[in-house]
Amino acid sequence: MSLKKDLFTGVTYNAISKYSGIIVSLIVSAVLARLITPQDFGLIAIAMVIITFFSVFSDLGLAPAIIQNKSLTKENLSDIFSFTVWLGIIISLGFFFSSWAIASYYEKNDLINICQILSVNLFFVTVNIVPSALLYRNKEFKFIAFRTFVVQFLGGFISIIAALNGAGLYALLINPIFSSATLFIVNILRYPQKMKIIFNISSLKIILSYSSYQFLFNLINYFSRNLDKLLIGKYMGMSLLGYYEKSYRLMMLPLQNITYAITPVMHPIFSDFQNDLKKLSFSYLKVVRLLAFIGFPLSILLWFTAREAVLIVFGDQWINSIPVFQILSLSVGIQIILSTSGAIFQAANATKLLFISGLLSSILNVSGILIGIFIFNSLIAVAWCITITFTMNFIQCYYIMYRYTLKTSIINFVKQFISPIILSIILFSILLFISQLITISNIFISALFKSLIFMLIYSLYIQLTKEIDICGKLKNKMR
């Protein structure tokens, strides 16, 4: 199968799963946001941030290493799986017994039960590493898409039923535990693994050089992505963390449901070009251009519809999230592209450079978070600092990628952004003019009106620049 067909097939099935999942996710979030307080969301946010830290140690970069290494035998995989079972037991118990310290640090006793319950999720996430990685390595994107959507739908449905029956914040714990356990059962049935009480450590050594730098990147990336929530919860309070967490999650929705339809398939497909960096670089430019035309204009639309988006999805009690979400939305375009960079480093066997770039990113992000919290002591300041550091990280990441990994000029990469930036400037100017000229009190009508204007301008630009011949494609379909 050709690269184009491989990529198209993978992205199509992932997109079907992700975009249908948007509906489920929004419905679940909208219902739970009206039944559960910002304080409770803040508690769950803290617990999820900490469990993510533990999950970094449970992964150890094994999944990308399994995808990258095509020569692993069944015996090797059984050894690695056995290692993850023991690791899962140790990590989940560690999280379970850390619950008292976590609750004491944040002075919230509810965190004890929350963390102990979520330790079950941590175990299943860990033991799922090998069978899940095999699904991606073998490019079973159709199966992955169907499996993911069904599990997401069922988990969301059960969470809503629990919340409606008075489960409170515990309704938020159902989906992660149900999803991780069910995904493991489905995956292990697809790719059965032999469990060994004593496993051969030499199988781990085969992938250690690759996975070790991947693990280090995951570790520092964790702090870069989660320190804001940890510090806001400690020094600014759980309610403010709840508002921030909702803003961040809403900002991440388009990011997750656009690039996450692409990035999971990129490493398995582009790893076939690990010995042809020129082809890898050329193929990646097409992905970058597509994402730039999606992400940059989308940032503009989210900026102008921030109020409508927050109120429609979460309701009036989350109105304090609007300015934070509006600022964070400016980083969506950059993050959409940046989120695909890891797959290129992985495919090029350059996890060491991925770690170096991640280390620089962490230094910048942490600096921005500390400035926003301890100097300005404001959620808005934190949002601006994070947006600025994302931009700086975008520059350093792609400089390292093209200079040291792909070993080619970055000029062609930069050229991909000229037209999308021009489109974004046009969209910003017109939407700003319309927003000042016309005020619509109904948030549904306002969101629809701005979106229609956005789509009209976007379509005209795409057609006039011949980026996509929309009219020609429509004529062909009507014949």
Q: Return the pLDDT at 215.
A: 80
Q: Tens digits of per-residue pLDDT, 129-176?
A: 889 888 888 878 778 878 887 887 888 788 778 777 777 667 777 878
Q: Tens digits of per-residue pLDDT, 207-244?
A: 777 778 878 887 887 777 777 877 887 788 777 887 88
Whether 424 contacts 301, CB under 8 Å: no
DSSP string, 23-70: HHHHHHHHHHHHHS-HHHHHHHHHHHHHHHHHHHHHHTTHHHHHHH-T
Angle value at C-alpha 250, between 247 and 254, nearest 5 degrees: 140
- CA atoms of 36 and 408, how far apart (whole Å): 51
Q: Return the pLDDT at 22.
A: 61
Contacts of 457 (CB under 8 A, 6+ apart): 426, 427, 430
- CA atoms of 292 and 109, how far apart (whole Å): 45
Handedness of CA 151, 154, 157, 162 (dihedral sign): negative
Instruction: Please provide the distance, in angstroms rounded to a whole number, between the alpha carbons at the two ends of the chain.
Output: 29
More reliable by pLDDT, 414 or 61: 414
CA-wise closest residue to 254 among 294, 312, 311 = 294
Q: Where are the beta strands (DSSP E) in 156-252?
A: none
Three-class SS state of 349: coil
DSSP string, 271-308: GGGTT-HHHHHHHHHHHHHHHHHHHHHHHHHHHHTHHH
Three-class SS state of 441: coil
Q: Return the pLDDT at 202.
A: 79
Whether 247 contacts 320, CB under 8 Å: no
Contacts of 406 (CB under 8 A, 6+ apart): 277, 280, 281, 344, 348
Q: Return the pLDDT at 230.
A: 76
pLDDT band at 456 (very low <50, low <70, confident <90, very high): very high
- What are the φ/ψ torsions at residue 408 (nearest 5 degrees)? -145, 170
- CA atoms of 229 and 231, how far apart (whole Å): 6
- CA atoms of 52 and 148, how far apart (whole Å): 20
Whether 368 contacts 385, CB under 8 Å: yes
Q: Tens digits of per-residue pLDDT, 7-34?
A: 555 556 555 666 566 666 666 666 666 6
**Quick count: other Cβ atoms within 10 Å of Cβ 161?**
12
Q: Tens digits of per-residue pLDDT, 253-289?
A: 777 767 666 776 777 778 778 778 888 888 889 889 9
More reliable by pLDDT, 35 or 132: 132
Rg from Cα positions in the chain: 23
- What are the φ/ψ torsions at residue 198 (nearest 5 degrees)? -120, 120
Whether 214 contacts 351, CB under 8 Å: yes
Q: Tens digits of per-residue pLDDT, 37-54?
A: 666 767 777 777 777 778
Where residue 151 falls (left for φ over 0; alpha for ψ -120 to 50; beta otherwise) is alpha
Whether 387 contacts 330, CB under 8 Å: yes
